[in-house]
Amino acid sequence: MFPVDRPRRLRRTAALRRLVAETTLRPEDLVAPLFVGEGLDEPRSISSLPGHAQHSLASLRAEVGALASAGVGGVILFGVPTTKDEVGSGAYDPDGIVQVALRDLRDTYGDDVVVMADLCLDEYTSHGHCGVLDSCGAVDNDATLELYARAALAQAEAGAAVVAPSGMMDGQVGAIRSALDESSHADTVILAYTAKYASALYGPFREAVNVEIAGGGDRRGYQQDYRNRREALREARLDIDEGADIIMVKPAMTYLDVLSDLASELDVPLAAYHVSGEYAMVKAAAERGWLDGAGIALEQLTAVKRAGADFILTYFAREVAEGLNP
């Protein structure tokens, strides 16, 4: 018998496998995206995101409590306003639904839960774009930055520990950092959606927030082209120079190469967003009995960590965190 290397030796028992596992998924690695609907007395379910709802203020408070008990790393809020307009006023109105919800959560949980706010206009604009439009109907980058700065202040004022600009406008991180620093919110963290790709995987999210892009339009003029890999590094360096504290890749599973690049090249914390379509695909197949949903959720989220993410925004946060707890 010649000597062979036997990697299987380390796979013999569950205890050995656990001892040598390179990647560990913990509840605190997960951040739960949550929707809050203006004027709702009861949560309203979202058919393409089973287990999720547009929350009322009361159900949001309860859900955040349950998530905190499960040990998740944080929550990120998205607002569903009752009215929209051309300039997305609800995003920066101090009485806009997310600002109201942020104050409520701050009063209830203080600094015990990391509460983040998605910072964008698309939920609040009548045309569904992430910025304001110029006279030709194109998204006006620099006019949008002024509104993002106002939204950042409104969110920070209302108690967001982290603001997360998701609109992919050039210069958005710099504009928000300056606005925060100039107004006594130097401690507010910026989690930048740095490499956010124009993806077909956002469909269920758009149902969740009632967003339809006018005229059958899309976001390819501002979100990244999925044919590009190195471009993500360029975006990341810009965001870090402008003051991003954390950078994020979105979606997750189809961009593990990008995550891996950013993890090896950069030294800021790195997040990934396992998006609505990624969740819905697993849920739909599991519902049909075609796949083991819980098994896939764990495998996918662990893979995202293995590729380099420090934490993951995921609609699986609560169920996976609860499953990880003894």
- Closest approach, Cβ 118 to ligand PBG, in A, equals 5
- State which residue, 64 or 80, has the beta carbon closest to ligand PBG: 80
For residues 30 and 316, what is the distance between their CA atoms, to the nearest angstrom? 8
Query: Where does residue 46 rank: exposed (0-12), middle (13-18), buried (19+ CB within 10 A)?
Result: buried
Name the token pair of 146: 């002024």
Footprint (CB under 6 A) of ligand PBG, residues 217-236: 219
User: Which of residues 29, 118, 140, 235 is near ligand PBG by CB under 6 A?
Assistant: 118
261 binding ligand PBG? (CB under 6 A):
no
166 binding ligand PBG? (CB under 6 A):
yes
For residues 24 and 305, what is the distance between their CA atoms, to the nearest angstrom? 8
Footprint (CB under 6 A) of ligand PBG, residues 3-62: none
Residues touching ligand PBG, count (CB under 6 A)? 10
- Closest approach, Cβ 179 to ligand PBG, in A, equals 19
- Closest approach, Cβ 251 to ligand PBG, in A, equals 7
- State which residue, 67 or 275, has the beta carbon closest to ligand PBG: 275
Please choose, out of 35-43, 117-125, 144-152, 292-300, the segment that lies near ligand PBG by the rule CB under 6 A. 117-125
- Closest approach, Cβ 148 to ligand PBG, in A, equals 11
Please tell me whether residue 23 adopts helix, strand or coil conformation.
Answer: coil
Contact criterion met (CB below 8 Å) for 325 and 70:
yes
255 binding ligand PBG? (CB under 6 A):
no
- State which residue, 205 or 255, has the beta carbon closest to ligand PBG: 205
Give the sign of the dihedral formed by CA 244, CA 246, CA 252, CA 257: positive
- State which residue, 153 or 211, has the beta carbon closest to ligand PBG: 211
205 binding ligand PBG? (CB under 6 A):
yes
Please choose, out of 103-111, 116-124, 238-246, 300-308, the segment that lies near ligand PBG by the rule CB under 6 A. 116-124
E strand map for 81-114: none
φ, ψ at 45 (rounded to 5°): -70, 160
Tell me how long the chain is.
326
For residues 73 and 75, what is the distance between their CA atoms, to the nearest angstrom? 7
For residues 196 and 193, what is the distance between their CA atoms, to the nearest angstrom? 6
Instruction: Give the residue among 267, 206, 208, 205 at the shortest CA–CA distance from 236.
Output: 267
- State which residue, 151 or 236, has the beta carbon closest to ligand PBG: 151
Active site residue 84: no
Footprint (CB under 6 A) of ligand PBG, residues 266-305: 275-276
Query: Where does residue 284 rank: exposed (0-12), middle (13-18), buried (19+ CB within 10 A)?
Result: middle
Active site residue 250: yes
202 binding ligand PBG? (CB under 6 A):
yes
Please tell me whether residue 95 adopts helix, strand or coil conformation.
Answer: coil
Strands 115-119 and 189-196: unpaired
- State which residue, 207 or 231, has the beta carbon closest to ligand PBG: 207
φ, ψ at 156 (rounded to 5°): -65, -45
- Cite the active site residues: 196, 250
Binding stretches for ligand PBG (CB under 6 A): 118, 120, 122, 130, 166, 202, 205, 219, 275-276
